[in-house]
């Protein structure tokens, strides 16, 4: 076994959808993580994991994102590490090289969708309209992130999408919080939710790992 164990190649879009289902079923909550300081990488991941959150979406919103993915894949192999805020094929290739086990985008372009089709790891593309769902659908995508969920209709929108898009499932992200998370998870076409409420930036900045662990445990208990 090498230091960095690569994800098993997934050739078909059906295989990739099944892998996304597996990841989301295990996660229930995808914490959307932006690393502001390199020294926070391991203690933050450890606090989330101690609270029961072991599938992490590490965004490329900071200069430390790629390194965080590499460090976590190498030093915390028991966790499932994905890459978020991937905006173009170059970023997609970079997170693949860093060892990301799945990729999440805030929106779609034809180039990013095609990169996901070619990749051996699954892509969860971000959408906010029916037309974007259809663009992904045409290439074989059946699993999407709805973003920003609360802004674009939230629970009501996902219910409505269940009619014309009966085989589509979603991970709503953006405005999801303890007050509405259970309403999302109660929908049959929701796989998991994404959020940040369990890792408030002020807690990370002050190194309040115990609070992050406790909030993570509460979040997992909330969604059963």
pLDDT tens digit string along 174-198?
999 999 999 999 999 999 999 999 9
Please give the residue range of the domain that contains residue 23: 13-214
Tokens of 166: 């009966």
Is position 86 within any domain? yes
167: domain CATH number is 3.20.20.70
Instruction: Give percent of the chain with pLDDT exceeding 90.
Output: 95
pLDDT digits (tens, 9 = 90+) for 42-61: 999 999 999 999 999 999 99
- pLDDT at site 3: 43
Is position 82 within any domain? yes
Distance from C-alpha of 51 to C-alpha of 137, rounded to nearest angstrom: 35
Is position 6 within any domain? no
Report, as residue numbers or ranges, the catalytic residues.
57, 145
Is position 219 within any domain? no
Is position 167 within any domain? yes
pLDDT higher than 90, residue 11: no
Distance from C-alpha of 50 to C-alpha of 45, rounded to nearest angstrom: 9
Strands (E), 115-204: 123-124, 126-127, 143-146, 169-172, 193-195
Task: Share the mean pLDDT of the chain.
Answer: 95
The band of 1, judged by pLDDT with boundaries at 50, 70 and 90, is very low
Is position 7 within any domain? no
pLDDT higher than 60, residue 6: no
Distance from C-alpha of 205 to C-alpha of 35, rounded to nearest angstrom: 10
pLDDT higher than 60, residue 94: yes
3-class DSSP assignment, residue 190: strand
Distance from C-alpha of 38 to C-alpha of 67, rounded to nearest angstrom: 8
The total domain count for the chain is 1
How crowded is the C-beta side of 138, counted as CA atoms within 13 Å? 8
Is position 4 within any domain? no
Is position 1 within any domain? no
pLDDT higher than 70, residue 168: yes
pLDDT higher than 80, residue 10: no
């Amino acid at each position: 076994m090498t230091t960095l164990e690569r994800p098993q190649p997934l050739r078909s879009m059906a295989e990739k959808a099944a892998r996304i289902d597996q990841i989301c079923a295990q996660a229930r909550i995808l914490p959307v993580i932006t690393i502001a300081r390199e020294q926070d990488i391991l203690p933050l991941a450890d606090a989330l994991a101690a609270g029961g959150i072991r599938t992490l979406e590490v965004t490329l919103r900071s200069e430390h994102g790629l390194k965080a993915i590499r460090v976590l894949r190498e030093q915390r192999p028991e966790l499932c590490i994905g890459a978020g805020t991937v905006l173009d094929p170059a970023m997609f290739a970079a997170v693949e090289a860093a060892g990301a086990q799945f990729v999440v985008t805030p929106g779609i372009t034809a180039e990013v969708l095609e990169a996901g089709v070619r990749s051996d790891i699954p892509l969860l593309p971000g959408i906010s309209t029916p037309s974007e769902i259809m663009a992904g659908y045409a290439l074989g995508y059946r699993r999407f992130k709805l973003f920003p969920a609360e802004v674009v209709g939230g629970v009501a929108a996902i219910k409505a999408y269940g009619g014309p898009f009966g085989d589509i499932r979603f991970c709503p992200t953006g405005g999801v919080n303890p007050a509405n998370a259970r309403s999302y998870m109660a929908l049959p076409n929701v796989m998991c939710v994404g959020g940040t409420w369990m890792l408030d930036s002020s807690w990370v900045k002050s190194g309040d790992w115990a609070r992050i662990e406790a909030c993570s445990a509460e979040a997992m208990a909330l969604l059963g």
